[in-house]
Amino acid sequence: MNNHLNEATTYIQSKLSMTPEIGLILGSGLGVLGDAIESPTFIDYKDIPHFPESTVEGHKGRLVIGHLEGKPVIAMQGRFHYYEGYSMQDVTFPVHVMKQLGVASLIVTNAAGGVNTAFKPGDLMIITDHINNMGDNPLIGPNDDQLGVRFPDMSQVYDRTYIDHATTCANELNIPIQKGVYVGNTGPVYETPAEIKMLRLLGGDAVGMSTVPEVITAGHAGMRVLGISCISNMAAGILDQPLTHDEVIETTEYVKDHFIKLVKQIIHTLPQ
Ligand code: HPA
């Protein structure tokens, strides 16, 4: 793993003349933010040693490295999902690479189904906490003590200062914002109505098929994390209509202006 990590990091560094400080993981339909990065260097995942390849429609499968609001950033346009058949180690490999490149702050984004009935499609939700409902964990196996402790605390894995900062930015921009708990399921199926009822009883506000592994890995490695969900649809059983990936992509398309504005503002004044 460490050799693979070093080779991937060295390859990426060989293409760069700067050190990225902020990492961005862009979820389904949210990759457009990567197009706002100035003087970009693009690196396709397939060219990076030991990087897995993304297979989902709406995901580009490349790193975009450059400046956003004057800050050096590295963005993943497309992420790796557990449901694609990747191991938890594959899914979180890019987070390890970012850490090794010098990234201290990670902004993780996703499209998610609204579990909280007060939400509506198109809402943006700042993630205050998560429930790992994947039945797996990226930290299972030998612990890298250089990176973090064996039993990492997850009680503040979503940085409180960042939550407050993101809230302030949304308010300044007059962008309506929700806050809540993200439930990570494996997918690839959308949930049943009964499962959504259960997740609501358990305290979930939104549900998706990503984010949790990356956040656990980043938290373990001491990165500061901010999570933002785009509520792309109401979760199963809330509205009397079937869920489709097309709806997810359509909603993210419609909310992308707000999303880009908000993340730019967050980065512009991100507390160190
Ligand atoms: N469930 C799970 N994952 C999702 C959903 C959903 O309703 N919408 C977008 N990703």
For residue range 22-40, list pLDDT tens digits in order: 999 998 788 889 999 999 9
Read off the tokens for 62: 């490349």
With contact defined as beta carbons under 8 Å apart, do 184 and 211 qualify? yes
Task: Determine the Cα–Cα distance for residues 247 and 230; give it in Å rounded to an integer.
Answer: 12
113 Cβ closer than 6 Å to some ligand 1 atom: yes
Confidence at residue 55, expressed as pLDDT on a 0 to 100 scale: 63
Where residue 114 falls (left for φ over 0; alpha for ψ -120 to 50; beta otherwise) is beta
Residue 58 has pLDDT above 70, yes or no: no
- Residue-wise pLDDT for 45-54, tens only, equals 999 999 987 6
Rounded to an integer, the average pLDDT of 172-177 is 95
- If you take atom 2 of ligand 1, which residue's CA is the nearest one? 208
From ligand 1's centre to the CA of 148, what distance in Å?
Answer: 31
Say what the pLDDT of residue 245 is: 85
Would strands 105-114 and 206-208 be described as parallel, antiparallel, or unpaired?
antiparallel
What pLDDT is attached to residue 59?
52
Furthest-apart CA pair in the chain: how many Å?
Answer: 52
pLDDT at 152 over 60: yes
Burial code of 141-151, b = ≥16 C-beta within 10 A, e = fewer? Answer: eeeeeebbeee
Q: What CA–CA distance (Å, rounded) separates 151 from 92?
A: 18
Look at residue 249 in the predicted model and tell me its pLDDT: 83
Lowest mean pLDDT among 18-22, 54-58, 116-120, 138-142: 54-58
| Residue range(s) defining the domain that contains residue 68 | 2-268
pLDDT(140) > 50: yes
Side-chain-facing half-sphere of 170: CA atoms under 13 Å? 18
Ligand 1, residue 243: give the atom nearest the CA. 7
Residues 36, 109, 48, 44: what is their CA dihedral angle, to the nearest 10 degrees?
Answer: -40
**Per-residue model confidence as pLDDT tens digits over 212-266:** 999 999 999 999 999 999 999 999 999 988 888 888 888 887 888 999 999 999 9
Measured in whole angstroms, the distance separating CA 53 from the mean position of its chain's CA atoms is 17
> pLDDT: is 175 or 243 the higher one?
175
Three-state secondary structure call for residue 133: coil
Is the shortest distance between the CB of 125 and ligand 1 below 6 Å? no
147-162 mean pLDDT: 97
> What pLDDT score does 8 carry?
96
**pLDDT tens digits along 192-211:** 999 999 999 999 999 999 99
- Give the nearest ligand 1 atom to 113 CA: 7
Q: Any alpha helices (H) in 54-203, and if so which ranges?
A: 88-101, 160-172, 193-201
Total number of domains in the chain: 1
Average pLDDT, stretch 86-95? 96
The dihedral of CA 164, 102, 111, 148: what is its sign? negative
Mean pLDDT taken over the chain: 94
pLDDT at 117 over 70: yes
CATH value at residue 260: 3.40.50.1580
Q: What is the DSSP letter of 189?
A: S
How far, in Å, from the CA of 245 to the mean position of ligand 1? 8
The candidate with the shortest Cα–Cα distance to 110, out of 200, 36, 201, 180, is 180
